[in-house]
Amino acid sequence: MALWCLGILCFSVVFVPRFFTFMNFGYGFSDLGLYSQFLTGISQNHFNPPILTFGKNFLTLKPEPIVYLFYPLIQLTRSPSTFLFFDAFCMIIAAGVCANVAWRKLNNLRFVDGIFFIILFCPLTLESLHAPSRMTVWAQAPLALLMAEYSLQRRPMWLASLFALLCLFNLSFGALAFVLVPLLVATRMKRWNLRRRLRCACPIGLIGFVSLIFLKLTGNSFVLEYDLFWQTLGESITLWFILFWFLPALSIDILIVAGFLLCLKIPGSPHDPSLIAPLGAIAAINSLELLALKQKWIKRTLAAGLVATAVYFNLISPDPFFSPWKPEHYRLLTANKGIHDMIAKIPPDASVVAIDSLSVHLTQHLNMATLGSWSVRDMNPDYVLTRYEPTPFDHDRHYQQVEINSETGARLLRRIK
């Protein structure tokens, strides 16, 4: 019952305020718009639709085949808010997987509840939800499933299937085979002969090789940025260790995987430590199993301490639990209703240029670009939607102002010649 309540709480804390942030134009094209424009593209039979804003095809920008699984949804909706729901769904799956590992290894209900809470409300993950880092949130679910199987049973078919699923989330994850194959061959599992080790390792290596080949075909390549990652993620990595009370340091194999993922350059996504949040939980569980603490009160105390640490870091963050007291997190602001009415006046077949924050709501137009992108120079859009920003169309005699929203400064221009 506690896990159900925590899951519902997480959904309301994560999805609801982010949905109203979206409706109040709090996200940009790279956050959500690029994905929903992809859905519009494949609905018009473009397998790899061009993204006009960047002048590249989608898979070149984001080699993420998993998004093709959204194809059945395009008959129902192409709203970018679909991906906000997917974020919360993946977080809850990752938390449930880590809680299952805790139950099977430690058999302590309080610690299970604590791990579930920490993954759902990990400060690193909640912070990353503000940034254009969809894949690092989505990949938490398959990564948690993969490493849970690695820690618990290591069944060859399941390991290969889960690794293939992770590679579908981003082809660059195929490089993880460079770490997993040696770890599986050099496993410390007793009674494992060489044949069984190779049965686990060989499919992982083959899937990783194929994934990297397809990554190359999309115009991307396997890159490690180990020389810069500590400078950009040093504070977050320290927070990751403190959040799990430095227990991951005792689980060397999980620590190696986490370090490799932090160095790996994921195309279309910035370095984001939230990706390894579930790895911290699994590593902490493995460390406690290694320590073989028998007293239940120690595990309960440790679980309470871990939860308290997560709550503390959230409370001192700039936007704790998405600040439910902020009006833009629980309702559509009156001033923004006028902009939505303005957007509704743009015909579905029109070409559009819009500022970044408003472009997310116009991605049903394949011939749409954000203001300031290089492609705008060669466009004669039917409509231009902007706010306070000046545009090269303001003094163009071919365009006239159709409507202006005095509260927000939003302006709609239409081509008349």
Q: Say what the pLDDT of residue 375 is.
A: 80
CA-to-CA distance for 26 and 17, rounded, in angstroms? 11
Pairing, β 368-370 against β 352-354: parallel
Instruction: Indicate whether 190 pLDDT > 70.
Output: no
Nearest to 30 by CA among 46, 54, 56: 54
Residue pair 174/208 in contact by the 8 Å Cβ criterion = yes
pLDDT tier for residue 101 given thresholds of 50, 70 and 90? very high
DSSP state string for 212-241: HHHHHHTT----B-TTTHHHHHHHHHHHHH
**Domain residue spans in the chain?**
80-322
Higher-pLDDT residue of 113 and 229 is: 113
Instruction: Indicate whether 146 pLDDT > 90.
Output: yes
Instruction: Indicate whether 188 pLDDT > 70.
Output: no
Q: Say what the pLDDT of residue 31 is.
A: 85
In this prediction the pTM is 0.94
CA-to-CA distance for 415 and 367, rounded, in angstroms? 15
Q: Region 261-271: what's the mean pLDDT?
A: 88
Nearest to 361 by CA among 82, 43, 80, 15: 80
Q: Say what the pLDDT of residue 323 is.
A: 85
Q: Region 127-133: what's the mean pLDDT?
A: 76
pLDDT tens digits, 201-252: 999 999 999 999 999 999 999 999 877 677 778 888 899 999 999 999 999 9
CA-to-CA distance for 413 and 341, rounded, in angstroms? 14
| pLDDT-wise least confident of 19-33, 94-108, 121-135, 167-181 | 121-135
Q: Region 397-401: what's the mean pLDDT?
A: 90
